[in-house]
Amino acid sequence: MTDIHSIFSEGGELCQALPHYSPRDAQIDMAQAVQRAIEDHETVIIEAGTGTGKTFAYLIPALLSGKKVIVSTGTKHLQDQLYDKDLPLLKKIFKYKPVTTALLKGRSNYLCLYRIKTLRQRGRFENKKQVDDFYRIERYAGQDETGDITKLENFQDSTLASHVTSTTENCLHTECPDYEECFIFKARKKAMDADIIVINHHLFCADLSLKQEGFGELLPEADSIIIDEAHQLAETAGLFFSEQIGTKMFSDWLEDFNRLLALEAKDFSSHDSVASAIIEGMIELRKLLPEGNKRYALSEFYQDPKIADQLAHIADQLLELVVLTKPLIIRSKTLAQIVERLQELQESWTKITVTSQENPDDNTVVWLETYVHHLMICATPLDISEIFQKNSRGLKAGWVFTSATLAVNGKFAYFCAPLGLSDENTLCLKSPFNYKSNALFYHPPELPEPNHPTYIQKFIRSMLPVITEAKGRTFILFTSYRALNEAAEILKKSLSYPLFIQGDAPKITLIDQFREAGNGVLLGTTSFWEGVDVRGEALSCVIIEKLPFASPGDPIEQAKIDLINKKGLNAFINYQLPKSIITLKQGIGRLIRDPNDYGLLVIADPRLITKAYGKQFLSSLPEMAKTQKLERVQKFFEYVEKKRLE
């Protein structure tokens, strides 16, 4: 077994290869724990505080193990960073141990050669921009080896995106005439042959969810599986263990069906009137539901006879369409496949929208999400522990679950329970950063409760002098768009620093602009609480509007709360509170990103002091000085400026 300790220690290979590397006890402890899990096919759960260096702590044991290892990350951005930056650097350092690596994303990230060709043959474009986009996409497909659309600039803005990528439903698989050249097929083949495969949680959960039907393609090959940003896994897995059906899924099917008919069965038109009636019925259903983008429990609307009747009527019409299109099955394999896809849509629609309401399951919540023109209806399991264990147990792999935020007060029950994991083999490593010297926590006095109608106004007013002391250089993290938008309107009139507001530009663009400005104030909600890394002076203050309790108005949240309470447990203590603490820890993690960083943390919510549970939030903070005096904030930034000049 490789001596991991010596690699990370003073004078070791990392110190020799990386000029700015310094040994950290927490990183060594983590690397050794990961090595044991890989070698012994064990499961280890590790909270590694910000600055531990967890990426190297799991990648190096994986590289040196000689085993096939899957690394799953929370986002495609982190996935690209691992594959394009971290792994090449480590492979260069440890070139005496050659390994092959592969990057694998979900199919929607790859161009589909067959769909590009059929789009050209059909040649129906709505405007000149679509024509220009098509030629740019076609050119890229002919030049790029991977077909990875994330490398194609502004691709997501193109209205052709869904026309030149495939889905599980419309992919022809081995029947495709372009199968041998297929970007997805080549990426998966490379992954099957690689020693280390970098994927993301969506792909991991998609593959794991298929195992219950015997179709998982990737996971059975791995000796070890490393889950980074593991705090996101249970929620992502829950969505992939869900069943879903949407009005857009049918309109996409109909578009693909008509495109295929134009190529293979121009004489067929028996479906036109029924298909049109289904589209009209779905439009009418959308009109019966509230405007705006929001989630609702389906049960809220099922008592309305108009909505219930419309759901059932669409189910009947879908069945009629299946019967009408069945004669096409004998004409070709591609036509047979698309008819089978319609049958699956019909069965899902009936099961989710009709049967589930007539025969409800206590462990499933059926909910819908409304969009401007479409809606999606999902049946989501509330407790996935048995499903997750059943589908993962057969992999016979070593498991590493890690994140900067897994534990609540040093205990891992909140993370382990939803996944059915044991908390016997856990490791809680504190951040090596010196929060005592480099950070200050400020809790403003005399703010009203967050549900008070004037809370945002008074909150922003109390933060203006703080932002002035910080000379801009501030993140303000909100728990809702409503609060963010209200604050933005106030700040536009009263702030002299550059203001960056979530939604005005893509997330990465906003972060780059904020970093470049050097004195900006950025307003963000959920996605900015984690996965954002701004080092140095550009970010010197993180302000958190209020404690991040999830909205019980969300149908999945409410159903989970109800289920936990039905089991005789206290949902607030066992679920809502620990979830909020984990989210808060993520937000706090934006502040200090480097040993030389300094920063002020502000949590404005008065419930930190007025509610008994506030103590649990306070105990989750890193060890740092605390104050309620604005004068102390001023002195802190004077101290910071002095330190930076030394």
In this predicted model, what pLDDT tens digit does every residue of 274-297 receive, in sequence order? 999 999 999 999 999 998 888 999
Rounded Cα gap, residues 408 and 430, in angstroms: 13
Cβ neighbours of residue 61 under 8 Å, at least 6 residues apart?
2, 4, 31, 34, 35, 38
Provide the pairing of β-strand 364-370 with 294-297. Answer: antiparallel
Provide the pairing of β-strand 426-429 with 599-603. Answer: unpaired
- For the chain, helix, strand, coil in percent to 5 are 55, 15, 35
User: Helix 54-65 to helix 25-40 angle, to the nearest 10 degrees?
Assistant: 40
* pLDDT score for 215: 46
Regions of the chain short of the pLDDT cut 70: 1, 156-157, 211-220
Contact 69, 195 (CB under 8 A): yes
* pLDDT score for 214: 44
* pLDDT score for 162: 83
Neighbours of 193 (CB within 10 A): 12
Contact 41, 425 (CB under 8 A): no
Rounded Cα gap, residues 186 and 475, in angstroms: 42
pTM strictly above 0.75: yes
